[in-house]
Amino acid sequence: MEFLNPVFLYGFSALAIPVLIHLFNLRRYRKEYFTNVRFLSQIQLETKKRSKLKQLLILASRLLAIACIVLVFSQPYIPSVLQHNGKTNHQAISIYVDNSYSMEAVGSQGRLLDIAKKRASEIAYAYKSSDVFQLITNDFEGRHAQFTPREEFLGMLREVKITHTSVGLQEVISRQNDLFSREKEGLHTSYLISDFQKSTARFENLRRDSSAYYILAPVESSKQNNLFIDSIWFASPVHRPGQAVKLLVRIRNCGSDKLEKIPLRLVLNNIQKSVTSFNIDPSQSVDISIPYKEEKNGFQLGSLQLTDYPIIYDDIFYFTYNIAEEINVLSIYGKSPNHYLKTLFTSDSIFNYRTCQANQVDYSSFNKQNLILISGLDDLASGLASELKLFLERGGSVCIFPPENSEYQSYNAFFSSVGGGSFGIPDTLKQRISSLDIENEIFADVFDKDATGKVRMPENVDLPLVLKYYPLGKGSSNPATVLMRLQNGLPFLTSASVGKGKLYVCASPPDPSFTNFQQHILFVPVMFRMGFISEFQWALYNIAGGNITVDLPPDSTSGKNTVKIRKWNTSYEFIPELKISGQHIQARIQGQIGEAGWYQVFGGNKEIASLAFNYNRKESDINCFNTKELETIIRKYNLKNFMVLKPSGLPFSKQIEQLHTGFPLWKYFVILALVFLAIEILLIRLLRS
C-alpha cells in the first residue's frame, strides 16, 4: 500500500490526545458512610469494572476513527504493476484494435468493433496529453507504423472499418515491438483489444519486449453463433456439357443451437440451379451433395449462398471452373502409330488427337497438350525424356506403354529422373488381371453402386488377359498407385503424381501379342478417363488477400497482348507480375485481390481464365478465449509482463484509470471512520454508568 499524500500521516500524532484525556481523567468520587456496607460492597466492585471496560472501548473506537480519518487524507492505494515500473513523465502506448470479420458479432453494448473503438478512445483519454499513441489494425497500414499525438490517434481510430484481412497475435505483437524499439524513452505499454479467436490468438513462442507491458482487453459477444460455408469440391474432376455432376459442400456450425431446414442455393452463371435445405447440430459440420447438369463449354461462374446473422461475410462462397471445348492428345510413336489408340481417341469429337513420330516432335507444342501417349517407341531419347519431365511438372499427363522389344534401359533412366519405378526383364508367364482399384478416379462411373452407395464389381467379371509383360518396380521417392493388378500381385497399370501432373505406366504395350487389354471393354473408359483427368484444372477458389501463382496458356503474352486481371462486372483491374520460363507463363498475384468475388484474366482482349476468391474462413470460427482461459494461458506460458482486464462492475474508463493510479482505498477508510464513530455513540448511550 502506498499514499498519494503521505504528509498527512503525521496526523497519527493526534492519537495521543484521547489517550491523554483518558489517563488524566481525575474524576473524584464522594464518600458516603453507612453503618453497614456489607450489602453495597459487591455492587461497588461491579460498577467500577463496568465503567473501566466502557472507557476502554470508547477510547479504542475514538483511536480507530481518528486513524481512519488520517488515512483518508493521506489517500492510500494499492499500486498497479505499471506504477511500480513506469514512473516516468513520458509514455508510449500501442493499441491494437481487432477489425477482422469476427468483430461483426454483437455484444451486450453493440457491435464488437464499435465496443473496441470506444475502449481504445477511453484508453487514450486516460493518459496525459504529452504521451504518444500508435494504432494497429489488421490492415497494417503504413500510416499506423508510428507514434502520434492523442488527437491524431483518435482521428485514425474513427476511420477503422471491418476488413477481410486476418492476422495472428504473434504478428501484431512483433509489429508493436518494432515500434517500441525505436521509442527508446519512457514506459512502453501495449493494449490488445480483440475477441481473441482461438484460431488466430496463439500464445506459445511469443516474441515479446521484456521492457513493455501487454494488457489484454477481451470483448465478448453475447452469443457466439456462426454458420458458414467452409469448403467445396467436386465428386469428379471431369466436366462435360450435358453431364450430371455432384458438387459437395462442407458447412460448419460454430454456435450452440441446432439449426433446421436452412436453405442453401446454388447459382451458376447468374441462373439458380438448385435449392436444398439441411439440418446441422451445434459445433458440428455437415457435407451436402448438390447434383446438377452441365450445360455449356467455357468458364463457369458459380456461387453458394445461405443466410446467417450477424456475421454475413462468409454466407456466399464463390467458385469457378472451366469446361474445355476439346482435349488435346498427342501420341508419339516409333515406326508406326498404334491402331488401337488412334481408333479410340478419334471416335469422340471432344478429343483433338494427333500423332507424331519421335524424330519429328515439336517440343514447343507440348504446352498445348493435355495428354501425351508414348507407344511403340524402342528408345526414349534424353531430349524427349527431359521435355516429358517438364510437361509433367507443369501439370500435364503422360501415359507410357513399354517397347515391344527388350530395350527398356532408356525408360528406366527417365523413371529414375522423376522418382518413379522401373521396367524389369519381360515375363512370358500367362497372367490375368485379377483386381482393380475401383475407388480410384480412373474407374469413376464405370461400375454400378449398391444401395449403400459403394462401388461393387460384378461377380465373375471377365478381366483382360496378359501374355507378356514387363514387371513394374516400385518408385524410389515417388510411390505409384496400382490401378490394375495381375494374379501374381504385380502391377499392370500404375499412376503416380509428378509435379502437378500424372504419370501412367502400363506393363504391356497395346499389342495382341502382349495382351488383349486394348480390345477389352475396360480399355475405353480407362483411356478416356486419362484424357478427361488430364484437362487442366484451375483452382476452384482462392483466398482473398493471399499470394498465389496462376499458370497461363503459352500464347497469353503473344504480340503486344498485356495480361490484366479484372474484377467481374466492375472497372477494377490491375496488371500482375509475370514469370516467363520458355513456354511456361505464370501470373503472380501478391495481395492485390482483397475482395471476394469472380475475377477474369485477359490476354489483350481475350479472356484466358476466370478465378474465384473467398475471404479466409479462419475468421469464421468464432470460438474465442474468455477471461479465465486467457489468465490460464498467461500462467501456463509464464508471460510475466502480460495481464488481463477482467470484467467488473466498474466502467472500462475507471478500470484504465485504476491501472495507472492503482486501487484507491480512501473510500473504505471513510466508511470505517463513520462505523467507529457510530460505535462510540452507541457505547456512550447504551452503556450508562
| Domain CATH for 103 | 3.40.50.410
**pLDDT at residue 70, as a whole number:** 80
Residue keyed to cell 510411390: 479
**Rounded Cα gap, residues 502 and 279, in angstroms:** 39
Q: What percent of the chain clears pLDDT 90, i.e. is strictly above it?
A: 42
Measured CA to CA in angstroms, residue 311 lies from 226, 255, 258, 304 at distances of 7, 12, 17, 16
- State the residue range of the domain holding 145: 81-223+622-661
Higher pLDDT, 42 or 191: 191
**pLDDT at residue 220, as a whole number:** 87
Is the model's pLDDT at 38 over the cut of 60? no
Cα atoms in the 13 Å half-sphere on the side-chain side of 688: 2
One domain for residues 351 and 367: yes
**Rounded Cα gap, residues 10 and 259, in angstroms:** 69
One domain for residues 218 and 136: yes
623-675 pLDDT per residue, tens:
889 899 999 999 898 888 898 988 766 777 777 776 766 566 667 778 888 88
- CB atoms under 10 Å from CB of 639, counted, come to 16
One domain for residues 252 and 358: no
**Rounded Cα gap, residues 401 and 478, in angstroms:** 19
- CB atoms under 10 Å from CB of 607, counted, come to 13
For the sheet with 76-78, list strands across it: 2-3, 76-78, 663-664
**pLDDT at residue 8, as a whole number:** 74
**pLDDT at residue 248, as a whole number:** 94
Q: Give CA angle at 686 (684, 689), nearest 5°.
A: 70
- CB atoms under 10 Å from CB of 120, counted, come to 21
One domain for residues 384 and 350: yes
Name residue 498's beta-bridge partners: 501
Please enumerate in sequence order all residues whose Cβ is within 8 A of that of 419, keeping only pairs 6 or more positions apart, or say none: 475, 476, 477, 478, 498
- Mapped onto helix, strand or coil, the DSSP state of residue 543 is strand
Beta strands in 508-582 (DSSP E): 542-543, 547-552, 563-567, 573-574, 577-581
Q: What is the CA radius of gyration of the chain?
A: 41
Task: Specify if 580 maps to a domain.
Answer: yes
**pLDDT at residue 48, as a whole number:** 65
Backbone angles phi, psi at 414, to 5 degrees: -65, -45
Is the model's pLDDT at 391 over the cut of 60? yes
Higher pLDDT, 267 or 128: 267
**pLDDT at residue 81, as a whole number:** 59
Last residue of one domain, picked from the residues 292, 324, 356: 324
Task: Specify if 192 maps to a domain.
Answer: yes
- CB atoms under 10 Å from CB of 247, counted, come to 22
One domain for residues 359 and 466: yes
The pLDDT of 504-523, averaged and rounded, is: 94
Residue keyed to cell 498475384: 589
- Mapped onto helix, strand or coil, the DSSP state of residue 648 is coil
Last residue of one domain, picked from the residues 488, 517, 534: 534
DSSP string, 138-184: TT--GGGSS-B-HHHHHHHHHT----S----HHHHHHHHHHHHHH--
One domain for residues 44 and 167: no
Higher pLDDT, 51 or 423: 423
Q: What percent of the chain clears pLDDT 70, i.e. is strictly above it?
A: 88
One domain for residues 97 and 139: yes
Which residue intervals of 203-348 are DSSP H helices? 339-345
Is the model's pLDDT at 476 over the cut of 70? no
552-572 pLDDT per residue, tens:
776 666 666 788 999 999 999
**Rounded Cα gap, residues 664 and 686, in angstroms:** 35
227-244 pLDDT per residue, tens:
999 999 998 878 888 888
Task: Specify if 437 maps to a domain.
Answer: yes
**pLDDT at residue 269, as a whole number:** 93
Residue keyed to cell 480390345: 519
CA-closest candidate to residue 408, choices 331, 473, 361, 359: 473
Q: Which of 21-25, 384-388, 415-419 has the lowest mean pLDDT?
A: 21-25
93-134 pLDDT per residue, tens:
999 999 998 898 888 888 899 999 999 999 998 888 888 999
Task: Specify if 681 maps to a domain.
Answer: yes
**pLDDT at residue 58, as a whole number:** 80
CA-closest candidate to residue 193, choices 181, 210, 176, 211: 176
**pLDDT at residue 157, as a whole number:** 95
The pLDDT of 514-532, averaged and rounded, is: 93
Last residue of one domain, picked from the residues 485, 501, 534: 534
The pLDDT of 161-173, averaged and rounded, is: 88
189-205 pLDDT per residue, tens:
899 999 999 888 888 87
Task: Specify if 501 maps to a domain.
Answer: yes
**Rounded Cα gap, residues 249 and 407, in angstroms:** 50
Whole-model pTM over 0.75: no
Which residue intervals of 327-408 are DSSP H helices? 339-345, 382-393
278-321 pLDDT per residue, tens:
999 998 999 999 999 998 888 999 999 998 887 888 899 999 99
The confidence band for 537, taking pLDDT boundaries of 50, 70 and 90, is: confident
Is the model's pLDDT at 689 over the cut of 60? no
Alpha-carbon torsion angle 50, 51, 55, 60, nearest 10: 0
One domain for residues 416 and 428: yes
Task: Specify if 67 maps to a domain.
Answer: yes
Which residue intervals of 588-686 are DSSP H helices? 627-636, 652-661, 666-686
The pLDDT of 418-425, averaged and rounded, is: 88
**pLDDT at residue 86, as a whole number:** 45
**pLDDT at residue 33, as a whole number:** 61
426-447 pLDDT per residue, tens:
999 999 999 999 888 888 777 7
One domain for residues 105 and 214: yes
CA-closest candidate to residue 642, choices 202, 190, 302: 190
Task: Specify if 46 maps to a domain.
Answer: yes
Look over the chain and give the mean of its residue pLDDT values, rounded to a whole number.
85
State whether the Cα torsion 81-86-91-94 is positive or negative: negative
**pLDDT at residue 554, as a whole number:** 66
Is the model's pLDDT at 187 over the cut of 70? yes
One domain for residues 71 and 90: no
Burial class of 240 by CB neighbour count within 10 A (0 to 12, 13 to 18, 19+): middle
The grid cell for 309 is: 446473422
What's the total number of domains in the chain?
A: 5
**pLDDT at residue 61, as a whole number:** 84
Cα atoms in the 13 Å half-sphere on the side-chain side of 279: 3
**Rounded Cα gap, residues 283 and 275, in angstroms:** 24
Is the model's pLDDT at 43 over the cut of 90? no
User: Looking at residue 588, which CATH number applies to its domain?
Assistant: 2.60.40.10
Distance of CA 35 to the CA centre of its chain: 103
Pairing of strands 187-194, 76-78: unpaired
Angle between the 112-125 and 150-158 helix axes, to the nearest 10 degrees? Answer: 170
**Rounded Cα gap, residues 225 and 623, in angstroms:** 9
**Rounded Cα gap, residues 24 and 603, in angstroms:** 108
**Rounded Cα gap, residues 45 and 41, in angstroms:** 6
**Rounded Cα gap, residues 143 and 157, in angstroms:** 12
The pLDDT of 460-487, averaged and rounded, is: 87
One domain for residues 350 and 435: yes
Task: Specify if 32 maps to a domain.
Answer: no
Is the model's pLDDT at 52 over the cut of 80? no
User: Looking at residue 459, which CATH number applies to its domain?
Assistant: 3.40.50.880
The secondary structure element, H or E, covering residue 526 is helix 523-534
Please enumerate in sequence order all residues whose Cβ is within 8 A of that of 307, keeping only pairs 6 or more positions apart, or say none: 262, 263, 315
One domain for residues 181 and 114: yes
